[in-house]
Amino acid sequence: MRRFNVRTRYCALALILSFQFVNANERPLVDGGIGDKPFMTEKKGKTRIGGYSEVHFRYGRSDGVTEELGFEAKRFNLFSYTRVADRLQVVSELEFEEGGEEIKLEIAVIDFEIHPALTFRGGIVLSPLGRFNLSHDSPANDLTDRPLVSTQIIPTALSEAGMGFYGSFYPSASARLAYEIYAVNGFNEGVISDSGNGTRIAEGRGNFEDNNNWPAFVGRLAFSPQAGYEIGVPLHTGAYNAWKIEGLTVAQKQELTIWALDWEVKWRAFELVGEYAGASVDVPVETVLLQENQAGVYIQGNAHFGRGWLNALPESVFTGVLRYGVVDFDTDVDGDSERRWTWGLNFRPNAEAVFKLDYRRGKSLDPLSNEVKGAALLFSAATYS
């Protein structure tokens, strides 16, 4: 009798535990709650989390006066990637800048592959307006500051709400023709109204709710004859002012068009990269502070050396960098421009992390051609995680 009671108790306990275990898996604590998400239960799905962080030390002087001296937690970015199905994926990037003072959803897209040469993309897209805007992560670049043309004319990082398509064709075994084209909300009137210095394209980005109910278009066509060589032709065009409201035309349409040319050449331990961009802006009245035509360019050479010099870090490499950049905020008159030379030496323990030491010199001219000279010493560290 005693054996029967012991066995009965063990069987009852096992049945209770089994019942609770099955219920715990079949019934979420709250339907649709934190423990009830598609990626947690769908065996075909796979989510990956990553990111990068960046910290700066800056010492800058202009006309003999110290303007910058201190440390800056520049960026902390978080990536997520989820493969929902064989042809469907979701990609996002959340950026924290200046120690969290600015938080921005830089990328949030849904990609659906229709054909190997045709993929639909919709959401907050990273505009293909130049190669640098598409590949601007700090750990991937060899200097601390971004090029002038890629921040003032493009401007990087340029994210826009929209949808469109991308893909690649292969004319030969080594050649590739890649494209991206999207309809987006475009820029807003901040282009001419939000800067005390006149037309500044960067002030008009962030138009996540279309201000004129009319899309702009952005695209890039890139040809690569073989790996390590590529030339790209990007274009962005559309109205930036609120010329149409609720279907009614209330003002004259003012358009902003940016065209660009970017290139990359890799040969052995050397790289030559660069970008040119020009902009045409319709303004209500052309004045000294409302410029119609702007342009800029940067050219950068990288030389890698010392690979594996450190036995403890066999993947490590040093890189010497030289960059020249210039932007002209009014190509129709003299003045109102900025140019800069930057020399850099960096060290990579591996491909995912970098320590950068940069020295830069430059000068800027205001619309009346008054000159300001400056120099800066920068040290930064950046790494993927």
Higher pLDDT, 361 or 194: 361
Query: Residue 331, SS3?
Result: coil
Mean pLDDT of the chain: 87
Read off the pLDDT of residues 201-236 as tens digits, 9 standing for 90 and up. Answer: 999 998 888 888 889 999 999 999 999 999 999 999
Answer yes or no: are the C-beta atoms of 210 and 230 closer than 8 Å: no
Residue 1 pLDDT greater than 50, yes or no:
no
Q: What is the pLDDT of residue 23?
A: 43
Read off the pLDDT of residues 79-125 as tens digits, 9 standing for 90 and up. Answer: 989 888 889 999 999 999 887 788 999 999 999 999 989 999 999 99
Read off the pLDDT of residues 240-279 as tens digits, 9 standing for 90 and up. Answer: 988 877 767 777 889 999 999 999 999 999 999 999 999 9
Residue 128 pLDDT greater than 90, yes or no:
yes
Answer yes or no: are the C-beta atoms of 238 and 215 closer than 8 Å: yes
Residue 289: what residue type?
A: L
Residue 45 pLDDT greater than 80, yes or no:
no
Confidence band of 7 (pLDDT split at 50, 70, 90): low
Higher pLDDT, 30 or 223: 223
Q: What is the pLDDT of residue 236?
A: 97
Residue 303: what residue type?
A: A
Read off the pLDDT of residues 341-373 as tens digits, 9 standing for 90 and up. Answer: 999 999 999 999 999 999 999 999 988 889 999
Residue 14 pLDDT greater than 80, yes or no:
no
Provide the strand spans (E) within the chain. 46-62, 65-85, 88-97, 102-115, 118-126, 159-169, 176-184, 216-226, 229-239, 244-245, 248-249, 255-267, 270-281, 293-305, 317-328, 337-350, 353-365, 371-384
- Residues with Cβ within 8 Å of residue 320, at least 6 apart in sequence: 302, 303, 305, 344, 345
